[in-house]
Structure 1
Amino acid sequence: MRLLLIRHGQIPSNAHDVLDTRVPGPALTELGERQARALPDALRGEDIGALFASTLLRTQQTARPLARKLGLEVRVRDGLREITAGELEGEPGYGERGLRYMEIAFSWAAGQVGRRMPGGENGVEMLGRYDAVVEEAAALGAGTVALVSHGAAIRTWTAARAADVDVEFAASHPLDNTGVVILEGSPEGGWEALSWAGAVVSTPGPDSGSGPTGRPVE
């Protein structure tokens, strides 16, 4: 199975670099809407058979142009939402408390799943809800499934579940708005990341020929 993890388009809090994880959250900015409209062309090389989004408005808005192009429904699932910031909500992303948010999230990927975000969830809860949606997507039997989700959630889940992505890589490779992480594998057999926002992570298998822009991975 080929799994495309797509970060949503820009929202105002991205432009101002503050933590914003509440549901349903803000709508896309004008730039974010343009990014969403560009997704169908960017992913034209992918044979997407199912499309999911989180319960936050921004992921659903990002998914809509792709859904219209492909004639697919957007399956909205709470498991794909952003990691709950709890008491850190609204903090600047590069301030001391904002950096603590990512430090705790990446510690889950390193195995410290019992740690809890202040006033929020722990790693067991976050990874468990994300796993459940991935398992549902895999059970559909589609060769390729796209999940429109959130930056911290995508980076943390991929570092925890992909054999070839560790915390150091995920921490040093931020994911821009509408950036795509491409994985292959299954919930049972594990996952391998082929591409991270266009950068090759692993050598593609014989059935994998394109990156997030639809061009061959080199």
Structure 2
Amino acid sequence: MIKHNKNSRLVHLVRHGEVDNPEGILYGRIPGFKLSERGHMMAQLAADHLADSGRKIGALYASPLLRAQQSAQPFAEKFGLEVNSAGALIEPKNKFEGMRTRGVRAALQDPAQWPKLWNPLLPSWGEPYARIARRATRFMDYALQEVEACQIPGDVVLVSHQAVIWVAHRKLNGLPLPHNPAKRRCELSSVTTFEKRYGRWREVAYVSPAQGLIVSGKDTGAV
């Protein structure tokens, strides 16, 4: 259940569904990584969840990467919207892109890659957490302002990636941005919901509509 002021507009940060990635590649911003068949089902469950909650969606934005665009399609069809591409929602750039998550070529098992790990607080292997937080939260502000300025009824859905959503969550909840990527609470096709009251964002809900599919799914390749 979403606990919020019933008259408020909400912004829902939705993670993409499972990616077709049998080789376990750290895909980052590499183009062409699409949803698996199960990933499409996960994305549909996320859209169904918001529709079943009774929320009206007035605007839909997604990262330009294929897996996010595909994950946004069920929302577009369910609510009769266009998918607006937003570079601010894209996966963070990462120096391990193209490497494997397991096996002899696994990034963290290759001593040649260890210098990239010199500062996990930044992090040194990719886009700084502070920059991710800034672009994500600024876009949340922008998207909300757009629907209000245009007097478009309904909430906003932003389809993005695990790192972007989790760093925004930490920033808006007053938590330190450095974290262990293996312990993010941001499952495939999860929905993290925010409300802005008195000029401040607050998180009002987190749900995992595709939980039943995640048990048998593969969540590899995120950076």
Does TM, normalized by the shorter one, top 0.5? yes
- Which deviates more, 15-24 or 47-56? 15-24
TM-score (norm 2): 0.69
| Aligned counterpart for 2:170 among listed residues 159, 167, 174 | 159
Is the alpha carbon distance of 1:86 and 1:166 closer, same or farther for their aligned partners in structure 2, counting shifts above 3 Å? closer
Is the alpha carbon distance of 1:25 and 1:85 closer, same or farther for their aligned partners in structure 2, counting shifts above 3 Å? farther
Q: Distance in 1 between matches of 2:25 and 2:173?
A: 28
Which SS does the other structure have where 1:43 is aligned? helix
- Which deviates more, 86-95 or 189-198? 86-95
Is the alpha carbon distance of 1:196 and 1:74 closer, same or farther for their aligned partners in structure 2, counting shifts above 3 Å? same
Identity %: 28
Which of these two proteins has the greater Rg computed from alpha carbons?
A: 2
TM-score (norm 1): 0.71
| Aligned counterpart for 2:12 among listed residues 4, 12, 34 | 4
Which SS does the other structure have where 2:42 is aligned? helix
Structure 1, unaligned runs of 5 or more: 108-114, 199-211, 214-218
How far the C-alpha of 1:124 sits from its partner, in A, is: 4.1
How far the C-alpha of 1:170 sits from its partner, in A, is: 8.8
Q: Which residue of 1 aligns with 2:140?
A: 134
Contact persistence 2:132–2:167 (CA under 8 A)? no
Q: Which residue of 2 aligns with 1:21?
A: 28
Letter paired with 2:72: A
Q: Aligned residues, how many?
A: 187
Contact persistence 1:184–1:193 (CA under 8 A)? yes
Q: Distance in 1 between matches of 2:43 and 2:81?
A: 15
How far the C-alpha of 1:174 sits from its partner, in A, is: 2.7
Does 2:209 align with 1:192? no
Letter paired with 2:80: G
How far the C-alpha of 1:183 sits from its partner, in A, is: 1.2
Which SS does the other structure have where 2:166 is aligned? helix
Q: Distance in 2 between matches of 1:17 and 1:169?
A: 20
Does 2:178 align with 1:178? no
